[in-house]
Amino acid sequence: MNVFNQIKESGLKFLFWETYWLLKFLTAEKFVNLLKIFFQDKFVKPAKINGFPVKLTVDPSANCPLYCPLCPTGQNQKGRKRGEMKFVNFKKLVDEVGRYLFEIDLFNWGEPFLNKDIFKMISLCGEGKVISRLSSNMNYFPLGYEEKLVKSRLNHLVVSLDGVSQESYEKYRVNGSIKKVLEAVKRIKKEKNRQNSKLPFITWQFIVFDHNKHEIRQAKSLVKKWGFDRIVFVENRGDMGKELFVKKKSKVKFKCNFLWRESVINWDGSVSPCCLYYDQKYDFGNAFKEGFYQVWNNEKYQQARKLILRGKVDSYDIICANCIGNELQK
């Protein structure tokens, strides 16, 4: 598991569901690429990789209607431009990499439903036999979106809902409405029944704070009533960015496998080292301008992989040198 291993998975239902879709979408090309990546990741650890990542995090939108205290987007931090990913660019990316991917996460720093092409993006994933996962605060979900969402065949919807009362919820989800969230989920559930669809699988994600931990027991009892398929509780770690990236160190130790298995594409095509770091000055390149594979094996990417292997900082200013994420993985 990665640094977010504090997420407590619950029940066999999701495991069976995920396994079903992995097998359903499995192709010979994906399987061969998976074997290549697994072998290189476990035994060889090359700086230049023969193959493609098995998972992408793609950010459709860098905008959000909420002002969450621990989110750089919500706090309007500088360091990355705002905008929406164009469908033509998303399609270009999927055309290049999609046949090797098992999953695409359609979220990162913003609210995905703000992108008017989000349903076309989801549908394209399904057409390419790629599992699609989307995380949303569900405060922007206009009437009619429920029909488009179910028709798009999104595999997995993660709903961020940190509390069972408006009083608790709004302490972190500033400017958010728990009523809007529950109404949106209710509409999706009703539309799933109308279309006789099991998709999307809906997860309730509950970040635990001191101000809402007393509502955990009640939340567990409301999962089915409120239209969710399961609930996961995530431990709040405060300012994750400041915890993970510290002042420059001369030596580092890593267990990180991210640079061999996954990649992060922002709304404008910029490729980030991982999904934890916000500032664009440490990006590795641009997948829309250069092509993804060109970036995947460029000098910055290779320097980052070498850094993790050697535990030494070379001449490149790579943010991985300052990451202490390995300490959180132990």
pLDDT value, residue 312? 61
Half-sphere exposure of 192 (CA within 13 A, CB side): 19
- Cβ pair 94, 87 in contact under 8 A: no
Strand ordering across the sheet containing 201-208 = 230-235, 201-208, 156-160, 131-136, 103-105, 55-58, 262-265, 270-272, 285-286
Mean pLDDT along residues 234-246: 54
Which is it for the CA torsion 299, 300, 301, 303, positive or negative? positive
Q: What does the mean pLDDT of the chain come to?
A: 88
3-state secondary structure of 73: coil
pLDDT value, residue 1? 34
pLDDT band, very low/low/confident/very high, at 313 (cuts 50, 70, 90):
low
- Taking 70 as the threshold, does the pLDDT of residue 131 lie above it? yes
- Taking 70 as the threshold, does the pLDDT of residue 32 lie above it? yes
pLDDT value, residue 13? 79
- Taking 90 as the threshold, does the pLDDT of residue 207 lie above it? yes
Of the chain, the percentage scoring pLDDT greater than 90 comes to 70
Best mean pLDDT range from 73-87, 96-110, 230-244: 96-110
pLDDT value, residue 327? 42
- Cα(288)–Cα(267) distance, integer angstroms: 10
- Taking 70 as the threshold, does the pLDDT of residue 311 lie above it? no
Between residues 292 and 306, which one has the greater pLDDT? Answer: 292
pLDDT value, residue 11? 60
How do the domains of the chain map onto residue ranges? 12-329
pLDDT value, residue 241? 44
Statement: the pTM of the whole predicted model exceeds 0.75: yes
Which is it for the CA torsion 225, 179, 216, 330, positive or negative? positive
Half-sphere exposure of 47 (CA within 13 A, CB side): 12
pLDDT band, very low/low/confident/very high, at 12 (cuts 50, 70, 90):
confident
Between residues 12 and 87, which one has the greater pLDDT? Answer: 87
- Taking 60 as the threshold, does the pLDDT of residue 239 lie above it? no
pLDDT value, residue 62? 95
- Taking 60 as the threshold, does the pLDDT of residue 91 lie above it? yes
pLDDT value, residue 314? 56
Between residues 109 and 74, which one has the greater pLDDT? Answer: 109
- Cα(90)–Cα(109) distance, integer angstroms: 17
pLDDT value, residue 5? 38
| Model confidence pLDDT, tens digit, residues 39-88 | 998 888 899 999 999 999 999 999 999 999 988 888 888 878 999 999 99
- Taking 60 as the threshold, does the pLDDT of residue 104 lie above it? yes
- Taking 80 as the threshold, does the pLDDT of residue 268 lie above it? yes
Of the chain, the percentage scoring pLDDT greater than 70 comes to 86
Domain 12-329 in this protein, CATH class: alpha beta
Mean pLDDT along residues 113-137: 98
- Cβ pair 94, 85 in contact under 8 A: no
Mean pLDDT along residues 266-274: 94
- Taking 60 as the threshold, does the pLDDT of residue 206 lie above it? yes
- Taking 70 as the threshold, does the pLDDT of residue 315 lie above it? no
